[in-house]
Chain A
């Protein structure tokens, strides 16, 4: 459990010209041929204020494998910019050496081999060790620990405890504030209940009640850190009532609300804030655009789109840090403030290598408290995977291909639809598939699998609509998920086109024939946002499916043809 794997084969992390903060990490690792916790903590400390950003952990209490995407397209003005770089392009842009721990953490190049060498990342006990170490080094009075949301949802135990496992474990990290997205799927009442007992602010500048458009949550929290007045403004996922069931939060309205945000920034400045931080669950490109629109924000800590970018990016004087997901990284920004202005900074994502970072006993015990009662069920083996099972990618992942196969076979459908969620860990070839693993892909509280008939025209409408949520050239119209996964049907997609013109060549795979607009097809799918959807829960259906197969072998899908201009 606590064995400290030696990183002998691949030696050092990259010597990065961009990553001055990690230059020490490089040379030292080079010399010692192994990575240590101190290497990971090595940081070019600056100034009076340290921001720690932890986001989108999706209820992963334990370390996980999480394969970075091989497709993460940007469109319009955002094409080719971080985070829309993958694989070798990503390595070149950030000057990372292939086959090093950082290359493994950030890209899918040689993923399986490197995963076997470098192990899992994350684990709340490891994160706790790092947070405690940084607080000790800097002094509590200089550190703000900020939770970017999508914290309470995404596992078996979070589903069974209505998020209580995450709420109680996160409390040990003593967050100074948090924001939300999937948190809201627990419903208004449960959210309010948790927020009332949280002990730190749950911020949402952009959530108002439907009737009078008055704030539902606090927008801003103020802190005195290192003698500096720091204001943190929170932004919930703007499209929560569209991307997730609105009926669970019928009285709350979201949206980006840039005017309201500007007012809240101005109000914070008027109250004496020397540094304004936006703790955001908008998604990377939305925040990149906001950074150019709103004046007076020094740092945006962004989440939602699960992008891990090695350092903060400076956009018109606003620093944008995107700290990945699933507990893989702890983001850190140090700020030096003089005369009410940020004059210097350093930043870094700290990859939480679980074989390198010590477990924190207090957090480990809390995790056992919540997982222990479910241990037998969590560890129950449903089957074994022969190939790599992963989710993340714009169009498909093998985990979703498996789910799409299960939907078709278990519900006797011709076509299946599975949501383009970006959460869900990875399994390496040869690993057992446990109940724990299955819930890491499916743990939602609107899980029913519907079976309906759609015409070809309706299927095209759905694909075009979802595709526009992903590839609209205006980031303010992007909802932050990936493309809906499709089983039993192939199609071509031209992301650079406009809505109505992106999807073509829809083909029913079973017959090889083109999808006809007026013909009806039997479709199974899950995670409908509509109230009263009927059918078996996805996790029950998939348990049955995986057990019936025993051995799972899902090849890389060739069913979506990408057309770029």
Chain B
């Protein structure tokens, strides 16, 4: 699992969100002191290894509407006192504030499933990390493309 900062670094050069007639460009710049997605993930995991396989993250390959991109996270867990998901964090590495949301669960939640719609201003990676009750972490990441569109045959 590589959390790369490429997308964040590229932000000021990156793909413009085009509204109105194609070509209206939004350019954002961030102060260098803002925590990055990688910083947030490190904070959340304390640097622990993140495993893959139990967490599934569903996002569109290309956003239909960057203002409301549906994100579904599901963790394969029994959700019993002995084995449950404590918390899931979602980060989007191209957003001004990369931490999008944290969901908390208990065994009483029944299942570790959450759905949210998030705003993505440009093509970027969305990452979900789950902290299990045994202190282990599960991770999944997808790139979501934000595009101008308009030329499909």
Contact = CB atoms under 8 A, between A and B. Distances in A.
Interface stretch (B17-25, B29-37, B124-132): B17-25
A242 interface: yes
Contacts of B68: 210
Contacts of A450: 21
Contacts of B21: 450, 452, 528, 530, 533
Contact of B25 (A304, A452, A458, A481): A458
A66 to B, nearest CB: 14
A481 B16 contact: no
B64 interface: yes
Interface string B38-51: 00000000000000
Interface string B1-34: 0000000000001011001111101000000000
A488 B25 CA distance: 23
A259 B153 contact: no
Interface string A410-435: 00000000011111000000000000
A476 B148 contact: no
B108 interface: no
B150 A529 contact: yes
Given A255-B61, A450-B21, A462 B148 contact: yes
Contacts of B147: 242, 465, 468-469
A137 interface: no
A528 B152 contact: no
A476 B149 contact: no
Contact of A477 (B62, B65, B70): B62
Contacts of A461: 15-16, 23, 25, 148
Interface string A215-257: 0000000000000000000000101111110100000011110
A265 interface: no
Contact of B153 (A210, A421, A457): A421
A306 B61 contact: no
B152 to A, nearest CB: 2
A513 interface: no
A243 B147 CA distance: 10
A227 to B, nearest CB: 39
Contacts of A484: 151
B23 A462 contact: yes
B33 to A, nearest CB: 27
Contacts of B60: 255
A527 interface: yes
Contacts of A423: 153
Interface string A470-492: 00001011011111100000000
A203 B22 CA distance: 32
Nearest to B147: A465
Contact of B23 (A255, A256, A454, A483): A454
Q: Which of B58, B149, B153 is the most central at the interface, judged by chain A CB atoms within 10 Å of its CB?
A: B153
Given A255-B61, A461-B15, A465-B15, A530 B20 contact: yes
A466 interface: yes
Interface residues of A, number: 53
B81 to A, nearest CB: 30
Given A242-B62, A242-B147, A462 B153 contact: no
B22 A462 contact: yes
Interface in B51-89: 58, 60-62, 64-65, 68, 70
B149 A242 contact: yes
A254 B149 CA distance: 14
Nearest to A419: B151
A213 interface: yes
Nearest to B117: A210
Given A461-B16, A484-B151, A256 B22 contact: no
B64 A242 contact: yes
Q: Which of A242, A457, A529, A530 is the most central at the interface, judged by chain B CB atoms within 10 Å of its CB?
A: A242
A181 B153 CA distance: 10
Nearest to A465: B148
Nearest to A468: B147
Contacts of A181: 152
B128 to A, nearest CB: 16
A500 B13 CA distance: 10
A243 B21 CA distance: 14
A165 B20 CA distance: 33
B153 A306 contact: yes
Nearest to B61: A476
B152 A452 contact: no
A516 B51 CA distance: 47
Given A256-B61, A469-B147, A530-B21, A239 B152 contact: yes
Contacts of A306: 153
Nearest to A250: B65
B20 A237 contact: no
Interface in B102-153: 145, 147-153
Given A255-B61, A533-B21, A481 B153 contact: yes
Given A213-B70, A452-B21, A528 B61 contact: no
Nearest to A483: B151
B152 A243 contact: yes
A55 interface: no
Given A465-B148, A466-B151, A482-B153, A239 B23 contact: no
18 contacts: A239-B62, A242-B149, A242-B152, A253-B64, A255-B64, A256-B61, A421-B153, A452-B23, A457-B25, A458-B16, A458-B23, A458-B25, A469-B147, A476-B61, A482-B153, A483-B151, A525-B22, A529-B150
Interface of B: 13, 15-16, 19-23, 25, 58, 60-62, 64-65, 68, 70, 145, 147-153
Given A246-B64, A461-B23, A530-B22, 8 more contacts: A243-B153, A244-B150, A420-B151, A469-B149, A480-B152, A481-B152, A481-B153, A529-B149
